[in-house]
C-alpha cells in the first residue's frame, strides 16, 4: 500500500495526470475515427491505470479522490487544476435554463389563471337599443353588470326604451362592469303642436301626422255617414272645451272622427212601443244604431217605457243610423186654475187635481171674503221640479174684525201676539196702549189688576186695513 502511494508524489502525480489526460484525448479521437471510417484502431498503450494491480483497480476512484483532498491542502495550484477537470462546462448554462423554465412555468400558471378568470367572467353584450329598459335590467341583474341609467326626451324612441349604451353590441363585458345607458322618456309632453286643418286630410294623412309628431293622445274614431266619404274627416273634439288647434300640446287629449262611409240597410227595427227603454238602448249598442231619447209625459204609458219611435218596426236601417224614441215620464202634474174654487170648496175639490197645494188666507178690502186672490204658479204649468212641493193659493178674508174677547183682559204680550198674527195676513193694524186707573175702566163688575187690559177703542167690529186701535190698560199707580 505504501508502494502504491509513492506513485502519488508531486512529480509523479502530475506526470500521471498528464498521461491520463493525453490517453483520454487519444481515446476520444479514435472513437470519432471509428464512427466515421470504421478503420481498425491500434490497441492503446498501457496507461497508468494498467500499471495498477487488479486488487487496486476497484478502489482507484476512492483513492484518487483521497489523494486529491490530501494534496489540495498545501498545493492550491494543483487543487485548481483538479477542479477544472471535474467541473461541467455546461453547468452555468443549465442553471440559467432551469431558472428560465421555472419563471416561464410560473408565468404560464399566472397567465392561465388570468385567462380562466376572464373566460369565466366574460359576457357578450346583446343589442338593447330600441328595446325596453326592463329587458336590459333583467340581463344586467342575471350577469352581474351594473347600469347607470340616464333619461331624456326622444322623438325617435318610445318611452322606457333604450336610446344608447356606452359599449357596442357584441363587445365583451366583465362581471362588475358599469354600463352607461340612455333611456327615452318619449316625446316632450309640453311641446306645442299646432294641429293642421284636418278638413283637407283623409284618415291616412291624419295617421301620418299623429305618428310623425308622436301625438299619442290624439285618437281617431270612426262613424258611419251618409254625407261624408269613407276615410274623410268629420270633426275634431278636445277634452278641454277651451282648447284650440293652435294651443294644442302633446299632453292634451283630443279625438278626430273620420267617416266609415254609408252602411247598407240590413238591420230590421223591432217594435219598442210599451217596452222598457233599456231594451231599445241595448239593441242599439248591439247593432251600432244610435238611439236618441226624448222624454214625454203620457197619460197611458208608464214612466220609463217607450211611447213611440221615429222608424217604424220591420223597417231596415244601417249601422250608424239614428233611431229616436219617445220615453214616458208618466202622467204630468199640471197646475189647475184655482180661481175656480173658493175658500170653502178648495179643500174638497182641489185635491182631486193631483197637484199639492197650500191655502193662504189674507185680508183684502177689495175681494169678498172666501174668494180667490192669487196662485204662485200659473195654471197649466207642468210641475217638473221636484223641489216644488206645493202650489200656494191665496184667498181673501175681507177686512179685519176686532173681537172684544181678543183684546180685553189680556196682557201686553198677548196683545202683541194677537196683532202680529193679524198683520201677517195683511191687516197692517197699529195698536197703542193707554194706561188708566183701574176705577175708570169700562168693566167695573170685575176686578182689574195692574197690567191687564180693560177696554179698546174698537170692540166686536170690523175695521179698515191699516187702522190704529187704542188699548186701555189698568195701572194701580194712577188710583186716587
pLDDT by residue (tens digit) across 157-175?
Answer: 999 999 999 999 989 898 8
H helix or E strand, kind and range, residue 179? strand 178-184
Q: Which of 7-21, 56-70, 227-241 has the highest mean pLDDT?
A: 227-241
Grade residue 244 by pLDDT with cuts at 50, 70 and 90.
very high
Q: Does the pLDDT value for residue 141 go beyond 50?
A: yes
Q: Is residue 346 very low, low, confident or very high in pLDDT (cuts 50, 70, 90)?
A: confident
CB 186 within 8 Å of CB 159: yes
CATH (one of 3.30.300.130, 3.40.50.620, 3.40.630.40, 3.30.10.20) for 125-184: 3.30.10.20
CA distance 112 to 120: 12
The CA-CA-CA angle for residues 136, 137, 138, to 5°, reads 90
State pLDDT tens for residues 305-337. Answer: 999 999 999 999 988 889 999 999 888 888 889
Helix (H, G, I), strand (E, B) or coil at 14: helix
Q: How far apart are CA 263 and CA 1, in angstroms?
A: 141
**13-17, 30-34, 117-121, 224-228: which is most confident:** 224-228
> Does the domain at residues 265-328 carry the CATH identifier 3.30.10.20?
yes
Is the pLDDT at 291 greater than 70, yes or no?
yes
Strands 172-174 and 122-124, sheet pairing: antiparallel
Give the model's pLDDT for residue 77. 45
3-class secondary structure, 441: coil
What SS3 class is residue 104?
Answer: helix
Mean pLDDT lowest among 56-60, 395-399, 400-404: 56-60
For residue 277, the 8-state DSSP code is H
- Give the integer Cα–Cα distance in Å for 31 and 24: 11
The answer to whether the beta carbons of residues 283 and 313 sit under 8 Å apart is: no
Average pLDDT, the chain: 81
In this predicted structure, the answer to whether residue 130 has a pLDDT above a threshold of 60 is: yes
Q: Which helix (H) or strand (E) holds 451?
A: none
Distance CA 132, CA 218 (A): 24
Overall fold of domain 338-396: Trypsin Inhibitor V; Chain A (3.30.10)
| DSSP state for residue 227 in the 8-state scheme | S
For residue 443, is pLDDT > 70?
no
Q: What is the CATH number of domain 198-259?
A: 3.30.10
The mean pLDDT value for 218-232 works out to 91
> Domain-by-domain residue ranges, the chain?
2-86, 125-184, 198-259, 265-328, 338-396, 401-478
Using alpha carbons, list the distances in angstroms from residue 319 to 264, 266, 269, 322.
Answer: 7, 8, 12, 9
Q: What is the three-state SS of 288-324?
A: CCEEEEEEECCCCCCCCEEEEECCCCCCEEECCCEEE
What is the pLDDT, as a whole number, of residue 385? 65
Report the 10 Å Cβ neighbour count for 110.
10
Give the number of C-alpha atoms closer than 13 A to the C-alpha of residue 94, restricted to the C-beta side: 5
Q: What pLDDT is stored for residue 74 in this prediction?
A: 44
What is the model's pLDDT at position 389? 75
Mean pLDDT value across residues 411-417: 93
CATH number of this structure's domain 401-478, picked from the four choices 2.60.40.10, 3.30.10.20, 3.20.20.70, 1.10.10.10: 3.30.10.20
Please state the rounded mean pLDDT for residues 432-445. Answer: 76
Long-range contacts, 73-81 (Cβ 8 Å, 24+) = 75/10, 78/10, 78/13, 78/14, 81/17
In the prediction, which pLDDT does 239 show? Answer: 93
pTM across the whole model:
0.40
Q: What is the pLDDT of residue 202?
A: 94
Residue 97: which pLDDT band, with cuts at 50, 70 and 90?
confident
Please determine whether the domains at 125-184 and 198-259 fall in the same fold group of CATH. Answer: yes
Residue 136, classified by CB atoms within 10 Å of its CB into exposed (0-12), middle (13-18) or buried (19+), is: buried
Burial class of residue 327, CB neighbours in 10 A (0-12, 13-18, 19+): buried
Q: Which residues contact 120 (CB under 8 A, 6 or more apart)?
A: none
Tens of pLDDT, residues 2-55? 444 445 455 555 555 566 566 666 666 665 555 444 444 444 444 434 444 444
Q: Give the residues across from 184 on adjacent strands.
A: 152
Statement: residue 179 has pLDDT above 90 = yes
Whether the pLDDT of residue 429 is over 70: the answer is yes
pLDDT for position 352: 72
pLDDT at 402: 92
**CB environment 15-25: b (16+ within 10 A), e (fewer):** ebbeeeeebee
**More confident of the two residues 65 and 288:** 288
Question: Is the pLDDT reported for residue 198 higher than 80?
Answer: yes
Amino acid at each position: 500500500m505504501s508502494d502504491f502511494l509513492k506513485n502519488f508524489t508531486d512529480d509523479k502525480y502530475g506526470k500521471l495526470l498528464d498521461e491520463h489526460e493525453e490517453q483520454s484525448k487519444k481515446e476520444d479521437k479514435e472513437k470519432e475515427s471509428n464512427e466515421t471510417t470504421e478503420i481498425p484502431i491500434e490497441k492503446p498503450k498501457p496507461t497508468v491505470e494498467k500499471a495498477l494491480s487488479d486488487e487496486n483497480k476497484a478502489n482507484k476512484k476512492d483513492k484518487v479522490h483521497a489523494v486529491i483532498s490530501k494534496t489540495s491542502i498545501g498545493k492550491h495550484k494543483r487543487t485548481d487544476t483538479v477542479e477544472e477537470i471535474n467541473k461541467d462546462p455546461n453547468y452555468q448554462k443549465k442553471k440559467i435554463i432551469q431558472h428560465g423554465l421555472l419563471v416561464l412555468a410560473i408565468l404560464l400558471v399566472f397567465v392561465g389563471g388570468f385567462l380562466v378568470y376572464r373566460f369565466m367572467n366574460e359576457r357578450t353584450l346583446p343589442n338593447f337599443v330600441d328595446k325596453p329598459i326592463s329587458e336590459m335590467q333583467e340581463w344586467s341583474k342575471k350577469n352581474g353588470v351594473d347600469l347607470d341609467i340616464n333619461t331624456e326626451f326622444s322623438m325617435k324612441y318610445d318611452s322606457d326604451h333604450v336610446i344608447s349604451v356606452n359599449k357596442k353590441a357584441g363587445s365583451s363585458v366583465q362581471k362588475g362592469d358599469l354600463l352607461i345607458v340612455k333611456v327615452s322618456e318619449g316625446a316632450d309632453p309640453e311641446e306645442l303642436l299646432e294641429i293642421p286643418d284636418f278638413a283637407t286630410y283623409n284618415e291616412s294623412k291624419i295617421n301620418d301626422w299623429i305618428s310623425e309628431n308622436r301625438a299619442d293622445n290624439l285618437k281617431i274614431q270612426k262613424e258611419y255617414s251618409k254625407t261624408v266619404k269613407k276615410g274623410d274627416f268629420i270633426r275634431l273634439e278636445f277634452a278641454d272645451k277651451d282648447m284650440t288647434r293652435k294651443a294644442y300640446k302633446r299632453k292634451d287629449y283630443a279625438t278626430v272622427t273620420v267617416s266609415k262611409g254609408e252602411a247598407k240597410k240590413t238591420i230590421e227595427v223591432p217594435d219598442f212601443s210599451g217596452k222598457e227603454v233599456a231594451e231599445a238602448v241595448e239593441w242599439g249598442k248591439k247593432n251600432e244604431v244610435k238611439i236618441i231619447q226624448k222624454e214625454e209625459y203620457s197619460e197611458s204609458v208608464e214612466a220609463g217605457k217607450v211611447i213611440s219611435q221615429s222608424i217604424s218596426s220591420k223597417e231596415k236601417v244601417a249601422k250608424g243610423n239614428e233611431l229616436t224614441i219617445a220615453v214616458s215620464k208618466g202622467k204630468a202634474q199640471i197646475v189647475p186654475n184655482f180661481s175656480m174654487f173658493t175658500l170653502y170648496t178648495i179643500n174638497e175639490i182641489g185635491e182631486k187635481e193631483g197637484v199639492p197645494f197650500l191655502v193662504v188666507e189674507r185680508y183684502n178690502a177689495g175681494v169678498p171674503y172666501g174668494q180667490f186672490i192669487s196662485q204662485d204658479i200659473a195654471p197649466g204649468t207642468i210641475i217638473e221640479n221636484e223641489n216644488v212641493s206645493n202650489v200656494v193659493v191665496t184667498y181673501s178674508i175681507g177686512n179685519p174684525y176686532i173681537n172684544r174677547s181678543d183684546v180685553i183682559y189680556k196682557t201686553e204680550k198677548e196683545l202683541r201676539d194677537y196683532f202680529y198674527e193679524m198683520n201677517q195676513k195683511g191687516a197692517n193694524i197699529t195698536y197703542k196702549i193707554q194706561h188708566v186707573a183701574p176705577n175708570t175702566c169700562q168693566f167695573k163688575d170685575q176686578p182689574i189688576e195692574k197690567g191687564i187690559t180693560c177696554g179698546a177703542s174698537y170692540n166686536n167690529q170690523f175695521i179698515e186695513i191699516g187702522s190704529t186701535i187704542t188699548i186701555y190698560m189698568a195701572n194701580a199707580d194712577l188710583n186716587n
